[in-house]
Copies of this chain bind each other. A is one copy, B any other.
């Protein structure tokens, strides 16, 4: 069996998840983790090397696919085009609105270097996007709904944490059950933001903080909370540490359509994840296999999940897949 040699750039939640996912795939091997920190201070779970990010290009003949585990705001816009100069790359760029220009930036480099760059891999963008696409393609007359949650939102938790008097905070996005049921029943409702999702905050206060004032500040916060029904719970630090440090997430993509004379057809994809970053990592690792194979077959340039046949994601041969899974 060919072993695919992988590198990781960035060792946060996602990087650790990728390292674990590689250990679940016997056709993959982690060569090195690249970090901006002093490598001596970064302890990783496996026996791979830890190197400075600037040394990465020296590994161009030793790494088949570089997995970029940085953030979409500031890391990936620089890192993805940079690493595509020497490596096949996979990233999880998730700023939906900027995907077209990000794709073009990676494509320009990867066409020249003759490498593959699969961008925006994970579950949304990623598996949810795939389901939005195929749902629409197989039921062209209908409506598509995406619901997220129950799940921890990092961005919203951060926004609550920035309020003066808040010590810890976790914010969960909750799909509204009644809305989900109406969609599943094929009612094709028009739903406002408030009708689709609710928000729930679990907050630990600094000593002496004014709970009523903080609650008001949360529920009226523009962009983050004002368009939603938000519930705020104040809890103890112990409670927070026992119950709100996980990173669960998930959601649903539902396509509700009709394919004949008034026959309702409901298509649904859902995820219920105890660890959002570990699942994203695991999806990325499957797409790293595809990046390697596409490049071996002579392909190059930027790709998204829409361009990749599922057969390339599995370690099994095409004949084995037809026999076992079709």
**Which A residues have a C-beta under 8 Å from some C-beta of B?**
17, 20-21, 24-25, 96, 99-100, 103, 120, 125, 127, 129-134, 136-141, 184, 250, 259-261, 263-275, 278-279, 281-283, 286, 289, 304-311, 313-315, 318-319, 321-323, 325-326
Contact = CB atoms under 8 A, between A and B. Distances in A.
Contacts of A286: 134, 137-138
A197 to B, nearest CB: 20
27 contacts: A24-B259, A99-B322, A120-B326, A127-B138, A134-B310, A134-B313, A136-B314, A137-B314, A138-B279, A259-B278, A260-B278, A263-B274, A264-B274, A265-B273, A265-B279, A266-B271, A269-B269, A269-B270, A270-B270, A304-B322, A304-B326, A305-B310, A306-B318, A307-B309, A307-B318, A308-B309, A309-B309
Given A127-B138, A268-B270, A321-B133, A96 B326 contact: yes
B304 A275 contact: no
B314 A282 contact: no
A-B complex: 3 closest residue pairs judged by Cβ atoms: A260-B278, A306-B311, A263-B275
A322 to B, nearest CB: 6
Contacts of A270: 267-270
B260 A20 contact: yes
B259 A310 contact: no
Given A103-B322, A131-B269, A137-B315, 6 more contacts: A99-B322, A125-B326, A137-B310, A259-B281, A263-B273, A265-B275
A289 B132 CA distance: 17
Contact of A282 (B17, B99, B138, B322): B138
B268 A269 contact: yes
A283 B268 CA distance: 15
Contacts of A96: 326
Contacts of A17: 259-260
Contacts of A127: 134, 138, 267
A307 B311 contact: yes
**Most chain-B Cβ atoms within 10 A of its Cβ — which of A20, A127, A134, A281?**
A134
Nearest to A125: B326
A314 B281 CA distance: 27
Contacts of A133: 310-311, 313-314, 321, 325
A199 to B, nearest CB: 23
Contacts of A21: 259
Given A137-B286, A259-B17, A325 B278 contact: no
Nearest to A134: B310
Contacts of A134: 127, 286, 310, 313
